[in-house]
Amino acid sequence: MSRTHKKKPQQASDQEERVSALELELVRERAENQRLRVNQTRLQQLLERLREENQNLKREALRQATPFARRKRVEVRKKSGRKAGQGVFRRREKPKRVDRTKKARLPGCPECGSRLKEIHRHEQYVTDIPPVRPVTTRYITYSGYCSKCHCRVRSHHPEQTSEATGAAGVLVGPRAKALAADLKHRLGCSYGKVSETLNDAFGLQVGRSGWCQADPHLAKTARPVYQDLLEGIRHSNVVHVDETGWRVDTQPSWLWVFTHPKATLYAIRDNRSSDVVVEILGKTFPGILASDGFRAYDEKRLSEWLKQKCLAHLLRDLKEMQEVKRGGALRFARDGTALLQAALALKKDKPTLLPAEFQRRAEELEERLDRLIARKRYLTDADNRRFARRLHRHREHLLRFLYVDQLDATNNLAERQLRPAVITRKTNGCNRSHGGAEAHSILASVLATARQNSLPILDYLVSVQRYGETPPAFTPSSD
């Protein structure tokens, strides 16, 4: 006789609870597995991207030359055309003077010789350089002994640039020296290329050493102009400053640029400290110093200066942060980018806004910036905290461009003026002596400033070299 066992109600309830707990645990484990799979996929994608970037870096390190292409496509291209401070734009016009006219007759069809009808007349103007040969001028001067002053006096012609005679009395003219200096110190050609160009174009058979020896003499003559530029820079309303690596006699140095739309001054020094800034601009600079975030511009003795930090550098760093951050850490970079872009848009719209409306929008941006970098705000991401401290350190120098019309939000002007020096450094090196570095600073400054003021460079340097001539003054920065 079989015995039937019945489960007690309490045991059944316990089993159901255990089953429910196991099912709930299973659901949690599946969700955790799914999350781990997603994270694994993201990590694999990140690993593949890092491997690809590492391979690209290895390939670039093995290249004999730096690639010309960018790693990434530029999303917003720069506006084409002439930039501010690069001279006055002039449209090409029909020549006012025609030296000679040549006609190409058309008596008939060149194919079959038939007579033509509805004949039209066409004109084309070709302006070319005629064959040029050097012009040699002989200057005859006289000297004599004064019986009253008891000294020897000598005459000189106003167009002379030197009083050398005898074996040293065969010279290269001021215009040739000016063209050679422009090719070397502004356009970045080597002395060898300068020699070849002037020999091929004008028949000047002067070696590279001759042009190299001519530059220190030309720089010595142009030194007063350089000093005038220095004084003008010191009294400017706004000065943009930047620096790049340089070498003098194979030793590390730095090429500094101090510029505004009407003048540019270069200085080569053996350090990258604020000593150079104080030396060039003085201990109490009355204007606004526009620069990047380099620490030398923020030293204690410059703490009372008015400054403007470059927003382009900040936006570039924020963009890099947006590419690598995820989740909540991405919010800070997006908010900072939106704020700076709104400030740039307000600067652009300022001429069309009423003063009250502009003031309201500017105050809103100031409040947004204060909230973004507030010290009481806790940021979990280390990069965000570091960038917030950076913005807090430069707080008073971030939005000053909104209230000063002639002040730009970026330091692009100084970077553009540094570009020729960077090209010169890459193509034909730097300087082999301190004298050559000083000559390069003087001549590059005078040439760049002449170009900014739309002055004929060759005529200007000729007037600098000749006796009795005063070169035209550069436009003051306050105009």
Q: Are 411 and 290 in contact (CB under 8 A)?
A: yes
Q: How large a percentage of the chain has pLDDT more than 70? A: 90
pLDDT single digits (tens) 43-88 = 888 888 888 888 877 776 666 555 555 556 666 777 777 676 666 6
Q: How confident is the model at residue 469 (pLDDT cuts 50, 70, 90)?
A: low
Write down the pTM of the prediction.
0.74
pLDDT reported for residue 246: 94
pLDDT reported for residue 182: 93
**From the CB of residue 75, how many other CB atoms can be counted at a distance below 10 Å?**
6
The alpha-carbon radius of gyration of the chain (Å, integer) is 35
pLDDT reported for residue 424: 87
pLDDT reported for residue 21: 82
pLDDT reported for residue 71: 57
pLDDT reported for residue 64: 55
pLDDT reported for residue 89: 61
The mean of the pLDDT values for the chain is 87
The sign one gets for the Cα dihedral 32, 35, 41, 47 is negative
pLDDT reported for residue 478: 43
- Residue 476, pLDDT above cutoff 50: no
Q: Are 384 and 333 in contact (CB under 8 A)?
A: yes
pLDDT single digits (tens) 89-108 = 666 788 888 999 999 989 89
Amino acid at 266: Y
- Residue 253, pLDDT above cutoff 90: yes
Overall average pLDDT of the 372-380 stretch: 86
Half-sphere exposure for 91 (CA within 13 Å, toward CB): 2
Q: Are 283 and 304 in contact (CB under 8 A)?
A: no
pLDDT reported for residue 69: 56
